[in-house]
């Protein structure tokens, strides 16, 4: 009897998965629990095991295809089992439906009727309708009102929002070859925007489009942090086999500051701001095909040596591609460090739905004024990007000032609870 192999849901937020690689081919004998393919989610690439023993009779989803969860991707059966053409056709119906939606974009669409205007050019709309339209990013001029005299009501806005969600994105329109332009630069290589790079593009575009970013920057004197690191470096390496980094010290300071300013340790879910008790900092790690953010759980309760060990373990697994879903989920705040590349400062894009992200630059020797004297000090630039819907400027400044205070007097971290 034929059995369906479906795209598994490997996480609560997973809606689609990309088939990275088939580890077995049609006709191969499978054992229950044996890996048969690699699936890339919005977080990690994972091996999917066979749920049953048998022969891989038919693969209906190719490598590189993005497939909705629970959709059939293959069939397993005995030697006598053969999937009928009708069965294969049903398995590919969902893909055909997606293709037809994309093709429909090429067809000319009716322009929506413009909303009625009051005298003076103001659109006729109820206050609630105006607020809803602003929240959902809708242009009132393009909504036809159903109220008295063409007045736009709440129901009109909700209907327009639903239509907008159903409408295929312009980027999905049928692709047409661009005309050759005289003097245009010659293309050396075309890299498809697929896989992890596509996921990163979609998530960060969504964040930058929907979250109003506020960015504040502070300079930190790292003199005492250097003294602390130098005094612990040999001990930590000898006892635990890891090298204590400035990233570890900054992670600890950030976690303790989040404990004092929990408004930064939050996320926006629907119309609710959720403030978390647990402090789980995600650390952005560069990998060959993009970026991944493993999570250090309970960062505030870890010692510097524990943070160093966990950070080193997660970075190693990230670069090997062996992170589990649990290790890349559950983050409440994110930190990104480009200091090792000599970057003095930068503004990072918030990792949705989190409230903020801390961007860490390089430590550089700079001339500063101390007690009326010009002296050379190791200076670090920290830039905090926060979602202004959840975090006001004053709160962001207070939080970053506390991070600076802990780094400039790092022994406070040893007595902070």
Question: Exposed (0-12), middle (13-18) or buried (19+): which is 351, by Cβ within 10 Å?
Answer: buried
Which element (helix H / strand E) includes 381? strand 373-387
Distance separating alpha carbons of residues 39 and 20, to the nearest angstrom: 5
List phi, psi (to 5°) of 3. -125, 140
Residue ranges of alpha helices (H) inside 241-285 are 246-260
Locate the DSSP E strands across 12-129.
16-22, 29-30, 35-40, 45-49, 54-59, 66-68, 72-77
391: nearest Cα among 350, 361, 345, 360:
350
380: nearest Cα among 340, 324, 353:
340
- The angle formed by the CA atoms of residues 247, 223 and 416, to the nearest 5 degrees, is 65
List phi, psi (to 5°) of 18. -105, 130
Q: Is the peptide bond before 353 cis (omega within 30 degrees of 0)?
A: yes
CA distances from 22 to 18, 344, 388 (A): 11, 43, 44
Distance separating alpha carbons of residues 158 and 156, to the nearest angstrom: 6
Note if 213 is an active site residue: no
CB distance 58 to 76 below 8 Å: no
For the chain, how many residues are written? Answer: 417
Among the options 52, 139, 278, 388, which is catalytic? 388
Distance separating alpha carbons of residues 331 and 334, to the nearest angstrom: 7
What's the DSSP call for residue 116? Answer: P
Question: Which residues are registered as beta bridge partners of 74?
Answer: 5, 59
Give the CA count within 13 Å in the CB-facing half-sphere of 290.
21
Among the options 28, 278, 326, 392, which is catalytic? 392
Give the residue numbers marked as catalytic.
388, 392
């Amino acid at each position: 009897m034929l059995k369906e192999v479906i795209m598994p849901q490997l996480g609560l937020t997973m809606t689609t998965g990309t088939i990275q690689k088939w580890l077995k081919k049609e006709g191969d004998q499978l054992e229950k629990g044996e890996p048969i393919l690699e699936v890339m989610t919005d977080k990690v690439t994972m091996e999917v095991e066979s749920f049953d023993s048998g022969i891989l009779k038919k693969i209906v989803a190719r490598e590189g295809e993005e497939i909705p969860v629970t959709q059939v991707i293959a069939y397993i059966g005995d030697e006598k089992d053969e999937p009928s053409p009708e069965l294969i056709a049903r398995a590919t119906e969902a893909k055909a439906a997606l293709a037809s939606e994309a093709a429909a974009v090429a067809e000319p669409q009716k322009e929506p009727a413009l909303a009625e205007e009051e005298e003076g050019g103001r659109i006729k709309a109820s206050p609630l309708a105006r607020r809803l339209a602003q929240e959902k990013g809708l242009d009132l001029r393009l909504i036809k009102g159903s109220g008295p005299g063409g007045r736009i009501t709440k129901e009109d806005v909700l209907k327009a929002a639903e239509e907008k969600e159903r409408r295929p994105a312009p980027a999905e329109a049928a692709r047409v070859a661009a005309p050759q332009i005289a003097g245009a630069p010659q293309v050396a290589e075309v890299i498809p925007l697929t896989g992890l790079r596509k996921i990163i593009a979609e998530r960060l575009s969504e964040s930058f489009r929907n979250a109003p970013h506020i960015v504040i920057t502070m300079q930190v004197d790292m003199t005492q942090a250097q003294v602390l690191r130098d005094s612990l470096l040999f001990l930590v390496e000898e006892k635990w086999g890891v090298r204590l980094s400035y990233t570890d010290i900054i992670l600890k300071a950030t976690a303790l500051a989040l404990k004092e300013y929990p408004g930064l340790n939050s996320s926006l879910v629907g119309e609710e701001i959720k403030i978390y008790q647990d402090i789980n900092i995600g650390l952005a790690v560069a990998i060959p095909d993009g970026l991944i953010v493993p999570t250090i759980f309970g960062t505030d309760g870890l010692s510097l040596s524990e943070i160093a060990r966990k950070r080193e373990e997660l970075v190693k697994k990230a670069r090997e591609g062996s992170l589990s879903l649990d290790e890349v989920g559950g983050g409440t705040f994110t930190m990104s460090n480009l200091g090792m590349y000599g970057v003095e400062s930068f503004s990072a894009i918030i990792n949705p739905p989190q409230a903020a992200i801390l961007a860490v630059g390089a430590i550089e020797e700079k001339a500063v004024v101390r007690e009326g004297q010009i002296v050379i000090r190791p200076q670090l630039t920290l830039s905090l990007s926060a979602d202004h819907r959840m975090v006001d400027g004053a709160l962001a400044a207070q939080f970053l000032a506390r991070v600076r205070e802990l780094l400039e007097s790092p022994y406070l971290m040893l007595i902070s609870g």
